[in-house]
Amino acid sequence: MTYGNQHYLAKRQLKAQLSRHADMRAQQRGIDQNSVRLVLAYGEREFDGHGGQRYLMTEKAMASLRRAVGKTPQVEALAGVYAVVSTEDPTVITLGHRFA
């Protein structure tokens, strides 16, 4: 059984790339490329209302990721991380942390 976001396969095949803005935000916020891949693979998808799709690491998404790879400090650091992807092309527009 595989876990993950049902919409991720198409993004992975198209090799989603980071925009300059997203790359800068990733560096500022300590989000590496592997983390971005996990967020796109396991994050819950929702439309952001501005022409993008947000992939958010909710508690449900975190539980799915933990089942797949286990509970590690690297996995736990992804709680609340989100990526916004353009609906027009496979570009990650921005990255960040959502705090409750």
pLDDT interval class at 5 (50, 70, 90): low
Supply angle C-alpha 63, 85, 70, rounded to 5. Answer: 20
Task: Please state whether the predicted TM-score (pTM) of the whole model is above 0.75.
Answer: yes
Model pLDDT, residue 87: 86
Beta-sheet pairing, 91-97 with 17-18? parallel
* Cα separation, 81 vs 77, whole angstroms: 8
Neighbouring residues of 85: CB distance < 8 A, sequence distance ≥ 6: 11, 16, 40, 52, 53, 54, 55, 91, 92, 93
With 50 as the cut, is the pLDDT of residue 14 above it? no
- Is the pLDDT score of 73 beyond 50? yes
pLDDT at 2: 42
- More confident: 15 or 34: 34
3-state secondary structure of 93: strand
| Average pLDDT score over residue span 41-58 | 92
